[in-house]
């Protein structure tokens, strides 16, 4: 899991709306559920996101704990 900045723009991904259970793809613009028009980011959860190679280069072995 990676840290999130509070007011960072929403990332392109597949989201799930916790209010109406609608699953939708988001690319850019304002994150909004196409079914119920919900814009509360706490209710819109990322369920699938492609890896970003530029972001992955910032991580080191210390960022991943064994388990």
Q: What is the pLDDT of residues 4-18, one digit of tens each?
A: 666 778 888 899 999
State the Cα–Cα distance between residues 57 and 65, nearest whole angstrom: 17
Mean confidence (pLDDT) of the chain: 83
pTM for this prediction: 0.67
Residue 66 has pLDDT above 70, yes or no: no
**Residues in CB range of 23: below 8 A, 6 or more apart:** 14, 15, 16, 17, 47
Q: What residues are paired with 14 via a beta bridge?
A: 25, 48
């Amino acid at each position: 899991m990676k840290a999130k900045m509070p007011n960072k723009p929403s990332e392109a991904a597949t989201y799930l709306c916790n209010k109406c259970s609608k699953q939708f793809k988001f690319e850019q613009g304002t994150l909004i559920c196409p079914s119920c028009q919900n814009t509360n980011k706490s209710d819109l959860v990322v369920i699938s996101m492609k890896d970003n190679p530029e972001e992955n280069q910032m991580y080191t072995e210390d960022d991943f704990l064994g388990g």
